[in-house]
Structure 1
Amino acid sequence: MPVDYLKRILTSRVYDVARESELEIAPGLSARTGCTVLLKREDNQPVFSFKLRGAYNKMATLSRAELKRGVIAASAGNHAQGVALAAARLDCRAVIVMPVTTPRVKIDAVHAIGGARVEIVLHGESYSDAKAHADALATRRRLVFVHPFDDPDVIAGQGTIGMEILRQHPDPIEAIFVAIGGGGLVSGIAAYVKAIRPGIRIIGVQALDSDAMARSLAAGRRITLKDVGLFCDGTAVKQVGKETFRLCRELVDEIVRVDADAVCAAIKDVFQDTRSILEPAGALAVAGMKAWTAQHGCRGKTVVAVACGANMNFDRLRFVAERAEVGEARESVLAVTIPEQRGSFRRFCTVLEGHSITEFNYRMADGAQANLFVGLQVAGAGDHARTIRALRAEGFATLDLSTDELAKQHLRHMIGGRSADAHDELLYRFEFPERPGALLRFLSAMDPGWNISLFHYRNEGADYGRILVGIQVPQADMKDFRAFLGRLGYPHDDESANPAYRLFLRGADDNA
């Protein structure tokens, strides 16, 4: 029998624990986009995210016998807090399995909310890993599983957000933007909104490196991602739910994908408008709204973005601040080659007149030319493009690094590292979970005959780490090297052909 989501949403028990969150205008974002931008402030819920709506609604439907047995959940953090709060209110025991990459702020919050009723188990590096372990524990310990998204009662609980939006704003709405991980939030909102006002567009937003729903919809079937990105940990799902996939195929109009820089810019935008700091997944809808309105030239319309979570790990803020300017096209990162002759630097500065230089690194390449690594404040994408054209017109070879992850993450801190002795050098970026022994595992798995010729590490906030490694691997060892990468199992990117690496770090006499 088909699920009557409209009835389930209207009869949900969410207001035993949740509050009707504000729908408020964001003046800065409205001025930037030319639309009336309304933020649905789910970051203001008691657990600082929307997740308590679905978790409590599901647990409130359980029988006394089921509550007595206890519940179990798998979560990257926000669903865990909802389950913990529901367990406290309903006086039942809860086991919560969380990935080891979960930010400490969320783990501590679950402890604080649930107290002695909640047992936390850390397992795996993504939600999918935690879910598999939770399934096994549920069977072994006869616990009731509370799914974070693929359950009609959970979906209905999240759907009350759509109900509130339409009640709070009865006037026309062009589109509602919603972050997607497993799909429970967007499915619930879409189920209500499309039943009441089907003309409103429902637009999902996903991180580029965690886009299981977008890929599944394109393929016409649920697909499983091999790896998921860890920055937007709240939406880091390898496979979406069966029911949420069905609902999204039927009700979601389109999906927008955004990168980490765009998310950082969105966090800054919301902070400037509200003085609140969203977590990365919580800002996805805002990032997607900005991208969609710019792409479609949407002006004079009313759009809603669901600010769905604010459990930000404080240590991440330095990364967010560093990348926000690039994400909102207000910083250009460039590599510029100028001749080593008098007057060249003056000409270079003249071209950049009127712009503030945010970063400048210099290393002489040879007696004929110099390579400059430059960070530059710009007024937007148009100014960025004009500046590059002006530099090239002056005869300066210019490489745009504003979207180059290697340059922004590592090379900007390492300019001047050429070595004539680094023969047979391969350059790789690795991402691994920040936990004891992760780095040692990497080093121990390497063949002792391979020399590390370059190493750069940067902690981005206690949930995952990134390293840049130069490894000298003779051509005859390439088969063994590929086997090493397979055994290691960490996400990695080969940057050996990256033009920024060749310009700033590769040995001048190494043409391999």
Structure 2
Amino acid sequence: MPHRYIKKILSANVYDVAVETPVSPARSLSKRMDNNILFKREDLQPIYSFKIRGAYNCISQLSQAQQASGLVAASAGNHAQGVAMSAKYLGINATIVMPKTTPDIKVSSVRALGAEVILHGDSFAQAYAYSLTLVADQGLVYIHPFDDEHVIAGQGTVAVELLRQVQGHVDAIFVPVGGGGLIAGMSVYIKYLRPDIKIIGVEPEDACCLKVALDAGERLILPEVGTFAEGVAVAQVGKLNFELAQQYVDEVITVTTDELCAAIKDIYDDTRAVTEPSGACAVAGLKKYVEREQAKNQTLIAVSTGANLNFDRLRHVAERAEIGEGREAVIAAQIPERAGSFKGFCKALGDRNITEFNYRYSNESQAQVFVGVTLKSGEGGREPLLEELSSANISAVDLSDNEMAKTHIRYMVGGHAAVEHEVVYRFTFPERPGALLKFLDTLGQPWNISMFHYRNHGSAYGRVLVGMQVPPEDKAKFEGYLDELGYAFNEETHNPAYQLFLAP
């Protein structure tokens, strides 16, 4: 099997449209982590993503009859642009089916490349199913984003360039994983020539389809997929990709949303490029590997895979980067409701800076405050801060890993309300014009809405925190109704952030 792929990779046709991307030294990150860290800059491709390689190689291999039939692909992002640009160069008609939730910037980019865009469904799965009806009804040729030998071979050209550009000793290469096309192509080529180099896949914790598959020994389908890193938000790794990963991938590391945001900042600091979350995945995994292994003086390479980031997501990235880097803690603290308490609290923090302080009067004796605190350089985590507050007789709860607190509560601190039978749920729903109104119409049943907070970060999904007045005897009926709604949800009634700041 490897020889077949090596031949396909070496004969892959990508440079009609793709470019050979540079390897950039990450000087600041290297110094900070005591390793030689390099970035393979696939964010510098004409479509700002490596996806152009696999798409063009696949399309250019089609027969004249297949090309004359026209192409179809389902994608909400980079693969769509890769297919559209490749088809335009080759003079082939292309249709891209995109979910209705796809941000306008991506739809406009695909249309500007000459492809016909059909908006269908709220998810990739629905867009994909519709694209297959076009294959059956119109005879179009489907271009798969990752589970195809020619696509895998096209992505493998990243490895060909990399081993030519970095000829000295390399300890490990970190590769983002969605459906697995890039890591399949890169790993089979690198392990064939340089089996001493570790190949490490990196996935978001809430979209880790390859890790789950490798652990189980079979391709499983994730019941839910996180959408922050849209470029790697895939529920099931490809069949061909999984077979290659089982043989040639050393391990898979998972990373959090906050760690992705910190990695985006790291890449910006060293290159002045703003990558998308999936594009920073490898850097986040590299940093986690260095910390876990206490690695020193190694040569480590991260593939920066894409820079198609919606501008309105930058606020969210900036908010979370410091927490992801371990330079900021978010805590809830209880201080006496009397003059001088805030000054005493600041004194207990020592020389740490307060980045955020949310407070409202609650009762005559105690006040709950929501605080962001910059940690000292070399402090080694949040424990010293919590211990110092405890020594000053200040009760504090660490909310740095509490998603609801960081997404919703920090914007809602306003005191407790006398609401009877309140239950709290966190929802995500497909984002498109009118989506919030539709959500409210759907939710508007016999139970009263007692609290509502909505946030969207320019992504395909909106986030809502909802309080509902539901008597205990109605709880089972209410949750059955939520199941019928079809929106992903989690109950947060017992979340400490809610209990501390908003609960009756």
1:259 pairs with 2:256? yes
Q: What residue in structure 2 maps to residue 305 of structure 1?
A: 302
Counterpart of 1:104 in structure 2 is 104
| Residue of structure 1 aligned with 2:394, choices 396, 406, 418 | 396
Q: CA shift at 1:343, angstroms?
A: 5.0
Query: Is the counterpart of residue 502 in structure 1 residue 473 in structure 2?
Result: no
Q: Is structure 2 residue 135 aligned with structure 1 residue 141?
A: no
| CA apart distance, 1:39 | 0.3
Match of 1:456 in 2: 453
Q: Using the alignment, how far apart are the partners of 1:342 and 1:236 within structure 2?
A: 50
Question: Normalising by structure 2, what TM-score?
Answer: 0.97
Shift in alpha-carbon separation, 1:436–1:105, aligned structure 2, 3 A = closer
- Amino acid of the structure 2 residue aligned with 1:32: R
Bigger shift: residues 435-444 or 167-176: 435-444
Cα distance in 1 for residues equivalent to 2:314 and 2:438:
28
Conserved 8 A contact 2:326-2:381: no
Q: Distance in 1 between matches of 2:174 and 2:278?
A: 13
**Residues in 1 aligned to 2:119 and 2:280: alpha-carbon distance in whole angstroms:** 25
Identify the residue that residue 44 of structure 1 maps to in structure 2.
44
Give the match for residue 273 of structure 1: 270
Match of 1:28 in 2: 28
Q: In structure 1, what is the equivalent of residue 14 of structure 2?
A: 14
- Which 4+ runs in 1 deviate beyond 6 A? none
The residue aligned with 1:62 is 62
Question: Contact between 1:105 and 1:311, CA under 8 Å: does it hold in 2?
Answer: no
CA deviations on 1:328-355 (whole Å, 9 max, x unpaired) are 1111111111233555433322111211
Matching residue of 2:321: 324
Whole-Å Cα distance in 1 between the matches of residues 325 and 398 of structure 2? 16
Measure, in 1, the Cα distance between the counterparts of 2:178 and 2:361: 47
Deviation of 1:4 after TM superposition, in Å, equals 0.6
Question: Residues of 2 paired with 1:147 and 1:3: CA distance?
Answer: 23
Distance 1:76 1:448, change over 3 A: closer
Note if contact 1:102-1:233 (Cα within 8 Å) is conserved in structure 2.
no
Query: Does the 8 Å CA contact 1:457/1:465 hold for their aligned counterparts?
Result: yes
CA–CA distance in structure 2, aligned partners of residues 493 and 275 of structure 1: 37
Query: How many Å separate the matches in 1 of 2:4 and 2:296?
Result: 36
Change (3 A) 1:285 1:78: same
Change (3 A) 1:125 1:446: closer
Contact kept, 8 Å, 1:127 with 1:237, in 2: the verdict is no
How far the C-alpha of 1:318 sits from its partner, in A, is: 0.8
Q: Counterparts of 2:67 and 2:312 in 1: how far apart (Å)? A: 37
Cα distance, 1:387 vs structure 2:
1.1
Say which SS state the counterpart of residue 248 (structure 1) adopts: helix
Contact 1:128 1:238 in 2 (8 A): no
* Alpha carbons 1:446, 1:484 under 8 Å: kept: no
1:295 matches 2:305: no
Q: Cα RMSD between the aligned structures?
A: 1.5
Is 1:428 the counterpart of 2:425? The answer is yes
Alignment identity in percent?
Answer: 50
**1:197 equivalent in structure 2:** 194
Q: Does 1:92 align with 2:92?
A: yes
Are the counterparts in 2 of residues 126 and 237 from structure 1 also a CA contact under 8 Å? no
| Corresponding position of 1:510 | none
Which of 368, 373, 394 is the aligned partner of 2:370? 373
Per-residue deviation at 1:436? 2.9
Distance 2:444 2:108 in 1: 39
The alignment partner of 2:207 has SS state of: coil
3-state SS, counterpart of residue 15 of structure 1? coil
Q: Deviations for 1:88-146, whole angstroms, at most 9, x for unmatched residues?
A: 11111111112233332222211112x2xx11122234433322221221111101111
| TM superposition score normalised by structure 1 | 0.95
Counterpart of 1:150 (choices 142, 147, 168) is: 147
**C-alpha offsets along residues 425-444 of structure 1, whole Å, 9 cap, x if unaligned?**
01111111111342233222
Q: CA deviation at 1:447?
A: 5.3
Tell me: CA distance 1:162–1:13, structure 2 relative to 1, closer, same or farther (3 Å): same
- Helix, strand or coil for the counterpart of 1:382? coil
Distance 1:175 1:103 in 2: 35
Unpaired runs of 5+ in structure 1?
508-512
Secondary structure of 2:380's match? helix
1:3 Cα deviation from its structure 2 partner: 6.7
Separation in 2 of the partners of 1:91 and 1:267?
A: 36
Taking the aligned partners of 1:379 and 1:289, their CA distance within structure 2 comes to: 23
The farther-off stretch of 303-312 and 458-467 is 458-467
CA distance in 2, matches of 1:371, 1:377: 19
Is 1:439 matched up with 2:447? no
Partners of 2:453 and 2:466 within 8 A in 1: yes
Larger deviation, residues 299-308 vs 101-110:
101-110
Return the letter of the residue paired with 1:273.
D
Deviations 1:293-325 (A, max 9, x none): 111111100000000000111111111111111
Q: Does 1:4 align with 2:4?
A: yes
Count of matched residue positions in the alignment of Structure 1 and Structure 2: 503
Equivalent AA in structure 1 for residue 164 of structure 2:
R
1:334 aligns with 2:331: yes
Whole-Å separation in 2 of the counterparts to 1:222 and 1:367: 57
Structure 2 CA distance, aligned partners of 1:383 and 1:442? 40
Instruction: Name the structure 1 match of 2:79.
Output: 79
In the aligned structure 2, how far is the partner of 1:287 from the partner of 1:227? Answer: 22
Pairs within 5 Å for 1:400-419: 400-419=398-417
Question: In the TM superposition, what is the alpha-carbon distance from 1:382 to its structure 2 partner?
Answer: 1.5
Does the Cα contact within 8 Å between 2:362 and 2:415 map onto a contact in 1? no
| Greater mean deviation of Cα atoms: 253-262 or 358-367 | 358-367
Indicate if the aligned counterparts of 2:228 and 2:459 stay in contact, CA closer than 8 A.
Answer: no
Q: Which deviates further from its counterpart, 358-367 or 62-71?
A: 358-367
3-state secondary structure, aligned to 2:252: strand
Alignment check: 8 A CA contact 1:128 1:237 kept? no
Partner SS for 2:127: helix
Per-residue Cα deviation, 1:252-305 (whole angstroms, up to 9, x for no partner): 111111111111111111111111100111111111111111111111000000
CA distance in 1 between counterparts of 2:207 and 2:123 reads 11
In structure 2, what is the equivalent of residue 351 of structure 1? 348
Query: SS in structure 1 opposite 2:206?
Result: coil
Secondary structure of the 1:102 match is: coil
Q: Deviations over 1:409-450 (max 9, x none)?
A: 111111123112x11101111111111342233222335321
